[in-house]
Structure 1
Amino acid sequence: MRIIGLTGGIACGKSTISLTLKSLGATIIDGDQLSRALTQPGGLALPAIRAEFGSEVFHADGTLDRRALGSLIFASDERRHALDDLMQPLLREMIEREILRAKEGGAKICVLDMPLLYEAGLDGLCNTVWCASLPRETQLARLMARDGFTREEAENRLRSQMDTAEKARRANIVIPTDGTIEETAALIPPLYAAELAKEGSHGKHTASQTK
């Protein structure tokens, strides 16, 4: 089984790539979904989050107030690193279990869809890394339009992650996502076929769009 690490900055179109890979038959491990499971009611991360950040990041019913927590961590590198330190070991354990499950289930291609792939040190689990890439100004515009953020809020989100250009520099395959959804999706089948044939290059390639 080959493992593709799929990463990219927030609002860079990574979801389009992931959905296309799923439609082609890949098994998807969604890092965001697993992170949410850790912080849902009864989630393994909640006691540590309460101990670190206090009751002000929880609603009266005991559920996590994601907006309140986000306001704290995106305004402070120290608080964000504290959250990462308590979440990442739990998340890695879940991901390793999901990879094993995919392998035992006979998957040929497993995709680790993880925005913070490099930040969490999970690229070492992958045979190859693909990065969705956008110019920074386009990324900011998409993020503000998608989530209703002010420019300052959007820039804080971008600063909380490794720069997309650095992720692209480290990746094996860089996928430009500044076109339409259809144009981005059209780039994926030949790349997927190459992985199926175990012909992925060890070097770096930039996928090109066909207008």
Structure 2
Amino acid sequence: MSLTTKFVIGLTGPIASGKSTVASMLAERGAELIDADGVVHEVEGPGTLETAAIAARFGEGILAEDGSVNRSLLGRIALDDAIALADLEAIVRPVVRRRIQDRLDQSTNEVVVIEALKLREGPLAKQVDSLWVVVAPAECRLERLTTQRGLSAADANRRMAAQATESEQTAGADVVIVNDGSLERLAEEVARAWEGVMNGLAPRSTPRGERS
């Protein structure tokens, strides 16, 4: 059954939980994906006002050879310095939110997925009809961060520890997807949740516009 209005899924969860894999599965089923991290890449690319502001705040050494922000280096700095993190977010977050909102407003797709690590911390959370959280055991996430992203175990553990706990992440979620097994099992979970959306059965713990 087709939906009569645009349905917005907010997809979030801790680092390396498998959000992008779930997002890809939803895209294969016809959802339009808005990837917040991809928008950040655009904003921190060569020649943008935000990249210039980041270089002014953190020094020219924060830039890669192509003029984009060296995100790996910047991430290590921000992880250890709360003031630096706040300054960075003040530069980047407003424009990222505006671009995501613009893409959401312009979309004509029946289902739109906003994938964002910090979705619940900003006004975009109020645009969400159904909040989906992807979780995975800490040992699985650690392995993904070290083998797939090339982080040291110490760096990976620090990044994981800096985030909210699993219970905090899943509080108020409409759908919790546990990514602790095979891709086939993950696909089955995604399929069940997707059918709920398409049948108009996806629960809404809070109506759009009233989430905290």
Q: TM-score range by the shorter chain?
A: 0.7 to 0.9
1:1-211 equivalent positions in 2, closer than 5 A: 1-59=6-64, 62-102=67-107, 105=108, 107-203=109-205
Shift of the alpha carbon at 1:121? 4.2
C-alpha displacement at 1:130, in angstroms? 0.2
Q: Give the structure-1-normalised TM-score.
A: 0.87
RMSD of aligned alpha carbons: 1.9
* Separation in structure 2 between the aligned mates of residue 197 and residue 166 of structure 1, nearest angstrom: 29
Aligned to 2:180, what secondary structure does the other structure show? coil
More moved, 141-150 vs 58-67: 58-67
User: Which blocks of at least 5 consecutive residues in structure 1 are unaligned?
Assistant: 205-211
Structure 2 letter corresponding to 1:141: E
Contact 2:34 2:114 survives alignment (8 Å): yes
TM-score scaled by structure 2? 0.87
Q: Secondary structure at the match of 1:80?
A: helix
Note closer, same or farther for the CA distance 1:49–1:195 as it changes in structure 2 (3 Å cut): same
**Count of aligned positions:** 201
User: In the TM superposition, what is the alpha-carbon distance from 1:27 to its structure 2 partner?
Assistant: 0.7
CA offsets 1:67-89 (integer angstroms, 9 cap, x no match):
32122112222212221122111
- CA drift at 1:138: 2.6
Question: Which residue identity does 2:62 align to in structure 1?
Answer: V
* Structure 2 unaligned residues grouped into runs of 5+: 1-5, 207-212
Deviation at 1:183, TM superposition (A): 1.1
Q: 1:158 to 1:121 in 2, by over 3 A?
A: farther
2:3 corresponds to which residue?
none
One-letter amino acid of the counterpart of residue 55, structure 2: R
